Amino acid sequence: MTDIWRLSASDVAALIAQRKLSAVEAAQSALARLAAVNPRLNAVVDWRPDAVLARADAIDAALARGERLGPLAGVPVTVKVNIDQAGFATTNGVRLQKDRIAATNSPVVDNLERAGAVIVGRTNTPAFSYRWFTDNRLHGRTLNPRHAALTPGGSSGGAASAVAAGIGHIAHGTDIAGSIRYPAYACGVHGLRPSLGRVAAFNASGPERTIGGQITAVSGPLARTVADLRLALAAMSGPDDRDPWWVPAPLEGPAQPRSAALCLRPDGLATAPAICAALHDAAERLRDAGWTVEEIDDLPPLEEACRVQTLLWMGDGYEAMVEAARQEGDPGAIAALAGQAGVAASLGAARFSTALAQRATLARAWQEFFGARYPVLLMPASAELPFAADLDLQGAEAYARVWAAQTPMIGLPLTGLPSLVVSTGMAGASPVGVQLVAGRFREDLCLAAGEAIEARGAPPMPVD
């Protein structure tokens, strides 16, 4: 058999279910791969091999007894260090939280374990999960396994680096402004931001999130195949009473025409030629698979959604966020907050109320777009190819450039809609990919289009 760590999650799950592979063998392969490449990448920052092997052994014993386990039985996965896993510190990449030991699992961890997954380690994030670059003063810098000079993305940079390099077959990430989708884009894997309410989430170890985070942040999967994203989404989407936003929506919706809109420059985005080429290529792949693709210029507002999203994300409690970043002394977190001072520092009750009202208006416009015109939208993930490491720290002009390029990452979470980044290949030494969006709870449409695009070419995975 080939190295187990190279296999897809779907293949590993099938082999374990058929008793052709043991969960312990899969865990040993994942841990060996971690030991081989993680010292260079620093993607996984907390792991306990003895506990991993004990969990895998328990799964093998349950299978031997004839017990029916979940769809991820024995599959090695990683989880991000900003969610609760009992007995581990929920650091969020912050020294101030290095001793915040979780007493209970988050719903995400519980659902993964109920599905039979083996959690092999916890992945890195920038301090406070603020940046599209992954480095912090507690755990250090994570490298992009495809090109060390490029950012691995953020804030789920450790997750994307790990799964791209073969450390685990599925990675958990979180996304409030691109934190699943951008690392997938930067590391040349696939990442799904589910609809708000699809995946239950809650951290008992920390204070309740402000309303902006509650209505825009989600958990979701990163993986090397779209089929593995589908498997992971099903596992992560189980019910949990701790999340009042969770919705028991079906994973498959009514049949829709295989039709997509293509927009190269939403709201006049300065999309780079290499990305326009990738979008045209993806459109041709869809057409080759029997889809109808129409290029359009008009979309619901994206820049306005970006402004409102930023206000809700960073504006509520801004002064406390700045003080925490100052105490932590993290340059990236300080720069991220300083870059939005003009938006966030002036927030008052009236402006915050207006922002919440604007959210409803914008979310409605986007949902109506999918309800009346097109089931799927094909659009840029970012206006640029993956950034050079720490570009956002190279002065105000560089920071503004990063922020402008990330409009598709920032604006869409405000709508509550699902979005999927599919890696389509390489542009020189840089990964490149596209973003697919669909109506609320229609992840199935994003995944169907993503599979058609993936079937016609993707960069080699995992990175050897």
Tokens of 62: 């349950």
Contact 458, 226 (CB under 8 A): no
Strand partners, 430: 427
Taking the C-alpha atoms of residue 127 and residue 124, their distance in angstroms, rounded to an integer, is 9
Of 10, 106, 179, 430, the catalytic one is 179
- 161 labelled catalytic: no
Contact 39, 145 (CB under 8 A): no
Taking the C-alpha atoms of residue 152 and residue 136, their distance in angstroms, rounded to an integer, is 13
Three-state SS at 408: helix
Tokens of 32: 């060996």
Taking the C-alpha atoms of residue 71 and residue 12, their distance in angstroms, rounded to an integer, is 10
E strand segments, 231-313: 259-262, 292-295
For 342, other C-beta atoms within 10 Å of its C-beta total: 8
Please give the angle made by the CA atoms of 180, 181 and 183, to the nearest 5 degrees.
Answer: 75
Pairing mode of beta strands 190-193, 218-223: antiparallel
CB contact set of 280 (below 8 Å; sequence gap of 6+): 262
Of 22, 155, 195, 419, the catalytic one is 155
Question: How distant, in Å, are the alpha carbons of 31, 145, 188 from that of 40?
Answer: 15, 9, 18
* DSSP tag of 265: S
Question: How distant, in Å, are the alpha carbons of 5, 116, 179, 207, 325 from that of 317?
Answer: 43, 38, 21, 13, 12
Taking the C-alpha atoms of residue 196 and residue 201, their distance in angstroms, rounded to an integer, is 10
Q: Residue 240: is it exposed, middle or buried by C-beta count within 10 angstroms (0-12/13-18/19+)?
A: middle
- 419 labelled catalytic: no
- 98 labelled catalytic: no
Per the omega criterion (within 30 degrees of 0), is the bond before 353 cis? no
CA 371 to chain centre: 25
Task: Please report the sign of the dihedral spanned by the C-alpha atoms of residue 316, residue 322, residue 327, residue 330.
Answer: positive
CA 105 to chain centre: 19
Taking the C-alpha atoms of residue 452 and residue 286, their distance in angstroms, rounded to an integer, is 6
Of 80, 195, 237, 423, the catalytic one is 80
Taking the C-alpha atoms of residue 345 and residue 351, their distance in angstroms, rounded to an integer, is 11
Pairing mode of beta strands 292-295, 259-262: parallel
Catalytic sites, residue numbers: 80, 155, 179
